[in-house]
Amino acid sequence: MIRPTLAVVAILVSGCFTPTRAADAIIGAYYPGGSAARYPVSSIPADTVTHLFYAFARIQDGRCVVVEEAGAHFKALAELKRKHPKLRTLISIGGWEAGGFSDAALTDESRKRLVSSCMAMFFDTHRGSFDGVDLDWEFPVYGGPKEIAARPQDRANMTLLAQEFRRQLDALAKKRGQAFLLTAALPAGRMQSAGPYDPARSFDLKALGQTLDFINLMTYDMGTAFSSVSTFNAPLREVPDDPLPPQLRRYNNVEGAVDFYLEHDVPADKLVLGVPFYGRGFRVKDTAHDGLYQPYAEPYTAGDWRDIKGKLLGDAKWTQHWHPVAQTPYLFNAGERVFVSYEDPKSIGLRAELARQRDLRGVFMWELTGDDDERSLLKAMAAPFE
């Protein structure tokens, strides 16, 4: 993404900047700090990636914290940014199984304390490493890990927390004469830990659309251990054969998730479409329909694209399939009764093309280190915006 001039800083940080296609399209990448040993920061393809989300900072005692080795990663990010001045980097706070949000967002005082601690750490102590903050609260009110605290007032408090980040980031932008971004990763999957799930019960989507610079729409994890049958991780379209109830099935796909957010007054140019660089698997109880939409005994760890390409695609025990409606590949091992849903360059390209056709802000992935050495998925993801 082209770095804005100072003349548009105020517009950008207030959340009103609209990009033009395709030069300003977002090609976003989540980068897990725990992978730095095998995939160092210096290897990040900053010539293709426009926005990098470092995952994760956590919340402890109401303040932002990171693991000890993160400091070295942040220095490497600053060096990467010096070599690639158009790269925008954001610290992502939270993630699945990350607690502390509900308590930290509970009062005006606790929100100010959390935000101030994050600002001090990422924009003072590690000044030059980050251009913004990405909130990944999974999830306010309900739907997240059952051991994580959640409250009915979380929905309103998430908005207030985002507004406090917006206020402090805007103040810093005015002081330093540069833009700082505020984003959030928001869910699409309709089955979560508590069963049927509605993102609008967790988040005030319209208010967040007005506060955030953009939303990373997690259009994946639509078929997980919370699903009742083996199913697709990120089907492009609604599949009539999917046994989900129609009111859930309508939105439990990439197109449907986009429509849901648009129906809740989030502008298209505030949405960045998510694609998974990993698979989901199920050990099914029946071999019918090549394992699709079958009851299962347990989830199966499919791994990321790198694993699937290297270990499964060349193994004759795994038959390869393509679903014409879901527009996604899948694998079935009849002998072991294992079904695996995954994405490949073709399906990733189709999802990125959908983002372009629907005039969304761009596309992002979880996560960068899951790609192969040729960066096949990243190239397919970026191609529609070149």
pLDDT tens track for 35-55 = 999 999 999 999 999 999 999
For helices 345-357 and 254-263, what crossing angle results, to 10°? 20
For helices 108-119 and 154-176, what crossing angle results, to 10°? 40
Identify whether 282 is part of a domain.
Answer: no
The confidence score (pLDDT) of residue 216 equals 98
**CA quadruple 109, 138, 246, 366: dihedral sign:** positive
353-357 contact pairs (CB < 8 A, 24+): 353/384, 354/236, 354/254, 354/255, 354/258, 354/273, 355/272, 355/273, 355/384, 356/21, 356/22, 356/25, 356/384, 356/385
In the chain, which stretches have pLDDT less than 50?
Answer: 1-21
Strand pairing category for 319-323 and 328-333: antiparallel
Task: Compute the distance between CA of residue 286 and CA of residue 62 in angstroms, rounded to an integer.
Answer: 48
3-state secondary structure of 167: helix
Identify whether 295 is part of a domain.
Answer: no
Q: 135 phi and psi, to 5 degrees?
A: -95, 130
Token reading at 90? 């954001």
Identify whether 174 is part of a domain.
Answer: yes
Token reading at 153? 């007032």
Domain housing 31: 6-277+344-385
Task: Compute the distance between CA of residue 12 and CA of residue 383 in angstroms, rounded to an integer.
Answer: 26
Task: Compute the distance between CA of residue 97 and CA of residue 78 in angstroms, rounded to an integer.
Answer: 28
Closest CA to 223 of 364, 343, 380: 343
Task: Compute the distance between CA of residue 160 and CA of residue 202 in angstroms, rounded to an integer.
Answer: 13
Query: Residue for token digits 């991780």?
Result: 233
The confidence score (pLDDT) of residue 322 equals 98
Identify whether 230 is part of a domain.
Answer: yes
Identify whether 47 is part of a domain.
Answer: yes
Task: Compute the distance between CA of residue 131 and CA of residue 237 in angstroms, rounded to an integer.
Answer: 35
Q: Which burial class, exposed, middle or buried, applies to 343 when counting CB atoms under 10 A from its CB (0-12, 13-18, 19+)?
A: buried
Give how many domains the chain has, as a whole number: 1
Q: Which CATH number goes with the domain that contains 205? A: 3.20.20.80
Identify whether 138 is part of a domain.
Answer: yes
Identify whether 326 is part of a domain.
Answer: no
The confidence score (pLDDT) of residue 22 equals 66
Identify whether 273 is part of a domain.
Answer: yes
Task: Compute the distance between CA of residue 147 and CA of residue 47 in angstroms, rounded to an integer.
Answer: 40
Task: Compute the distance between CA of residue 376 and CA of residue 14 in angstroms, rounded to an integer.
Answer: 35
